[in-house]
Amino acid sequence: MMKFPKDFLWGAATSAYQVEGNNKNSDWWEWESSSGKERSAEACRHYQFYEQDFDLAKGLNHNAHRLSIEWSRIEPEKGKFSESELGHYLDVITSLKKRGIEPLVTLHHFTNPLWLSRSGGWASRRAIAAFLRYCNFIVPALAKHVRYWFTINEPNVYVYHAYILGVWPPQKKSYFKAKAAEGNLLRAHIKAYRLIYKIYRRSKLAVPNVSFAHNTMSFVPCTRRLKDRLAARLRDNWYNFGPLNKVIKRKALDFIGINYYSRQLVDLKKWGIRNLAVDTCDKNHHPVKKNSLGWDIYPQGLYELLLKLRKYNLPVIISENGICTQDDNLRWEYIHEHLKHIHMAMNKGAEVRGYLYWSLLDNFEWDKGFGPRFGLIHVDYDSYRRTVKESARKLAEVSKTGYLAV
């Protein structure tokens, strides 16, 4: 048996665009229509059904829930802020609190108001000031109810998909734009961090906990060859630790929000800057189980990462960890193994304060549409009926008792 601390945060995460439906003023909405990809449309109708969804979460013994605010609802036109949408999110957050569920709120989760993206998006420095204006509208209104903030979700993933791979809006493949966007997102985090603190001080509220949600990966050298080991080490430093170092140096992180899913096998085809950054192994000679998108399941990578994060002396919250699969036994195996490795790391001094499974509901998985099912709760996209999966019930036992049978 492994015992987790009494005050451990147990729950799941969602993002507004992926579950709410009808986010018509967002850059993603427009992109879906022009790209010919599956449309998010009504998504899970969580905008209407959030009370029922939180009842289900409560029934599963969740004491925490990570959600995001859709900026394009709050500020559908530049400078025009919507009081009624603000009221909606206030209702969402107070309905979590009524159920004794701690809200962890993300301010930016991949989507942008269309007007922002039309004026250059995150590749332009103007995005920072715009983001701060939005924060200055939303944070004071919610501050009384919120102790945990994530400014921005996964700057690295956003930049990679939008500006390097060019498969997400604004679909601009440009190294220079990628660099600019990455810098602007981290600067926006640092400035928003300070702004949130100012707002809490002004309102005489207890000090908040502010982070960004950081996507991490385990980089495993495919062979013992020096070049593979070196490339893996470089990617680990650059991808996993680079953004954290920048923000921690500026004293703008209260805890580390870790999103962890998978590993990458590193196989350097030849020496070269690009090869060092991107070459992966395609030989499948280290087979492991995979999720339905083909991502390797590799819980020991999370263990190794958590040990390395000890050097920062900051608490860690697992802000996302999950699997898309039709095989619910595999989902439980995934959760179980990751919790086991988290606990092992805690025994070695990692300060993990919570685990938020991705995701509460099956939902709109960006350019992959509704195919991949990550949810603890099944969503029928015709009737919008929710069905709790067996894996969710097993996790509910762990969150209720704090014990994980191993």
What Rg, from alpha-carbon coordinates, does the chain have? 20
CA dist., res. 217 & res. 262, Å (int): 6
Distance CA(74)–CA(89), nearest Å, equals 9
Tell me if 320 contacts ligand GAL by CB under 6 A: yes
**Of the listed pieces 80-88, 151-159, 278-286, 345-353, which binds ligand GAL according to CB under 6 A?**
151-159
- Residue 206, burial from CB neighbour count under 10 angstroms (0-12, 13-18, 19+): exposed
Closer of 200 and 212 to ligand GAL (Cβ): 212
- Judged by CB under 6 A, does residue 20 bind ligand GAL? no
Quick one: tokens of 251?
A: 């004293």
Residue 157 lies near ligand GAL (rule: CB under 6 A): yes
Query: Which residues contact residue 350 at a Cβ distance below 8 angstroms, ignoring those fewer than 6 apart?
Result: 306, 307, 309, 310, 316, 342
Nearer to ligand GAL, 231 or 360 (CB): 360
Number of residues that bind ligand GAL (CB under 6 A): 12
> In sequence order, what are the beta bridge partners of 404?
2
The helix (H) or strand (E) run that includes residue 379 is strand 377-379
Is residue 259 a contact point for ligand GAL (CB under 6 A)?
yes
Binding segment toward ligand GAL, per CB under 6 A, in 45-53, 133-141, 149-157, 203-211: 149-157
Q: Is the peptide bond before 33 cis (omega within 30 degrees of 0)?
A: no
- Under the binding rule (CB under 6 A), the answer on residue 215 touching ligand GAL is yes
Residue 154 contacts ligand GAL per CB under 6 A:
yes
Pick the binder of ligand GAL from 75, 267, 362, 365 (CB under 6 A). Answer: 365
Farthest-apart Cα atoms in the chain, separation: 59
3-state secondary structure of 266: strand
Identify which of residues 217 and 404 has a Cβ nearer to ligand GAL in the complex: 217
State which of positions 67-106 bind ligand GAL (CB under 6 A): none
Integer Cα distance of 211 and 256 in angstroms: 6
Q: Closer to ligand GAL at the Cβ: 25 or 259? A: 259
Region of 133-141, 152-160, 187-195, 284-292 interacting with ligand GAL (CB under 6 A): 152-160
- Any contact of residue 14 with ligand GAL (CB under 6 A)? no
* Rounded Cα gap, residues 357 and 173, in angstroms: 32
Under the criterion CB under 6 A, does residue 296 sit at the interface with ligand GAL? no
Tokens 């699969």 correspond to 325
Residues that bind ligand GAL (CB under 6 A): 15, 18, 153-154, 157, 215, 259, 320, 358, 365-366, 374
